Homo-oligomer: A and B are copies of this chain.
Amino acid sequence: MASTDPSTPSHPYYPLEIEIIGYLANQHSVPTLLAFFASGCAAVFAFTYAIVTRMRAGSSRLRTSELLTVLWFVLCGCIHAFFEGYYVYNFRAMGGLQTVFGQLWKEYSLSDSRYLTQDPFVLCMETITAVCWGPLSFAIAYMITTEHPLRHPLQIIVSLGQIYGDVLYYGTSMFDHYIAGISYSRPERYYFWGYYFLMNFFWIVIPAVLVKVSIKASVRAANALKQLEKGKKTA
């Protein structure tokens, strides 16, 4: 459905003059897409809850904060490895994809068109997210459930990786907006605040809390090690 008038763009993304290879408008409505995403998240939570309950059958129940952290990391694992991985795998052809994931990405891209234009930074950051933080998120969920000693160092690594990637994600587009005068979001404010800002802000706030939790746990453990070593020396 490319426009025949060259002055009007053939797509709804900003900046209007960008070229989106093979662009096709979404077929599903926005409520349908959002409902799909929400029910996907709900299914992940339910499935994880069932697995954790079964895995902990013989031992004490996980504390609520630990259970919530497991749910968070399994959700992160799914989003990083599958949803963001889908973008990484298909980054050359995102504009024309009509799968549910493809249409979800096109809907999100109304707030950040870089996902449709082979942006080098977004592609590199998403590749690391999908390849490293995805699998490691599942590993951490497992380690919390089994109280594995690797849990806190790995939780610091993944959560810091999420924060850093996100800060650069915000930073590069703020630079382009304020300094270079290029906006990747449509002008309607709900795209910017609802998709671009809010969706990504979760991956700053929650990982920051988790880094803090893990730092505290690591300090407590380091002090325990010191105490044990002192005990051995005096014994």
Contacts and interface: CB of A to CB of B under 8 A. Distances in A.
A121 to B, nearest CB: 5
A90 to B, nearest CB: 14
Nearest to A177: B120
A140 to B, nearest CB: 13
Contact of A222 (B127, B176, B221, B228): B221
How many chain A residues sit at the interface, stated as a range, is: 35 or more
A152 B228 contact: no
A182 B150 CA distance: 42
Contact of A218 (B123, B124, B152, B228): B152
Interface string A164-176: 1101100110011
Nearest to A221: B221
Nearest to A123: B175
A150 B221 CA distance: 10
A148 to B, nearest CB: 9
A125 B124 CA distance: 13
Which of A153, A168, A176, A179 counts the most B-chain CB atoms under 10 A from its CB? Answer: A153
A214 B172 CA distance: 31
Interface of A is mostly: helix
A99 interface: no
Interface string A90-131: 000000000000000000000000000010110111011000
Indicate how many identical chains form the complex.
2
Contacts of A152: 153, 218, 222
B156 A121 contact: no
Contacts of A172: 120-121, 124
A225 B214 contact: no
A171 B225 contact: no
Contacts of A211: 157
Contact of A171 (B127, B154, B167): B127
A221 B123 CA distance: 37
A54 interface: no
A233 interface: no
A180 B120 contact: yes
Given A168-B168, A221-B222, 10 more contacts: A121-B168, A123-B175, A124-B171, A128-B164, A128-B167, A150-B218, A153-B218, A160-B161, A164-B165, A218-B222
